[in-house]
Structure 1
């Protein structure tokens, strides 16, 4: 269901969840609400209206971002090669420093995360978008993914590993996620 009675416009998906959830998605800043079956349309509209300021800020942040990368596009392929070239020495350095094996690197166009780690396959994947960011932020993502080779979950132990190897990781995460 799409509502146009309230500004901003939004799409609702009914799910088996307990609370209302809202996301503003790139590249167009569309607003998506996930709602429990028992919540009325009026309650959803009120929820969205109450978050109008937050929605506008999120949409402005999205509008300020560069156009998303398209798989197969020559610019995307250039950035992919650049990221691989920049990441390899950082991965080797940090893997040795952290005492983990050097994992296989995959560079992919990802829309919802900066990186991922498959501990069983000893593989990390990095988002091509990282090539557009400050190299210190690439280093943060690499250390984060290598930390998963030590501790797979985001547990207290994982965060202790991050604190040990990259004490300012929280500030870098805030910058990377646009919350500096």
Structure 2
């Protein structure tokens, strides 16, 4: 559930844990408190109030983090694929195509195509690029960890790099991951596979991450330092 505590929107998750855990999640500064099942509402609220100064400082970091300007899908715009910078070149054409040529992405569509139409088409191409890597990397990490998902999907998300349904053994990867360094994608894959085994981010989660990716915290920091999307939904 979500409640307002001293002007802070907080998501509270009751779990079978001993202690409360507080996190401010990228990329938008979402505040999440994981609390023991029998913890009182008053205790949770006091915990948030005591830490409100720290929470607001963390949220300010996300607010002030550089963001891409809203894209129009016209020549000269900057895009990233696996952390590498590309410049868009729009070429009017009756046939749609998306090609990578050196440091350029050549997008061909009708001259009168709308921004929304261009965005949908580019995202389709990004989805194919991401899916190709997921089909390669998920089996790699499944074999490494012995943790297997039944299916995976990609979707454009605003508040998470990835998520999972442990009961259905299904994971989702944020479509924006195609723009981040490939090592960051591997971190997110391992993160979500680990959640099939461990629902929280406690010591067991950390131990599993440390075991299979000793430098996972470096990859996490690299991911969270990446320039963010404008988040202007069409």
Q: TM-score, normalised by structure 1?
A: 0.65
Corresponding residue for residue 111 of structure 1: 158
Given the superposition, is the C-alpha separation of residues 66 and 130 from structure 1 closer, same or farther in structure 2, using an over 3 Å criterion? farther
Greater CA drift, 158-167 or 101-110 = 101-110
1:95 aligns with 2:99: no
For 1:8, the equivalent position in structure 2 comes to none
SS at match of 2:196: helix
Judged with a 3 Å threshold, the aligned counterparts in structure 2 of structure 1 residues 109 and 64 are, in CA distance, closer, same or farther, namely closer
Give the strand-richer structure, 1 or 2: 2
1:161 equivalent in structure 2? 208
With normalisation by structure 2, the TM-score equals 0.51
For structure 2, the residue ranges without an aligned partner over 5 or more in a row are 10-23, 29-52, 73-115, 227-234
Q: Aligned equivalents of 2:152 and 2:7: distance in 1? A: 37
Q: Tell me if 1:61 matches 2:59.
A: no
In 2 relative to 1, CA 168–119 (structure 1 residues): closer, same or farther, beyond 3 Å? same
As a proportion of its length, which structure holds more helix? 1
Aligned pair 1:144/2:191, yes or no?
yes
Of structures 1 and 2, the one scoring higher in RCO (CA 8 A, sep 6+) is 2
> Take 1:99 and 1:142, find their aligned partners in 2: how far apart are those partners?
13
Q: Give 5+ residue unaligned stretches, structure 1.
A: 1-14, 30-46
How far off is 1:59 after superposition? 4.7
Root-mean-square deviation (Å): 3.4
Q: Cα deviation per residue 1:12-60 (whole Å; 9 max; x = unaligned)?
A: xxx953334389x98xx9xxxxxxxxxxxxxxxxx9xx97xx85x6455
How many residues are matched? 140
Note if contact 2:162-2:174 (Cα within 8 Å) is conserved in structure 1: yes
- The separation in 2 between residues aligned to 1:105 and 1:163, in whole angstroms, is 23
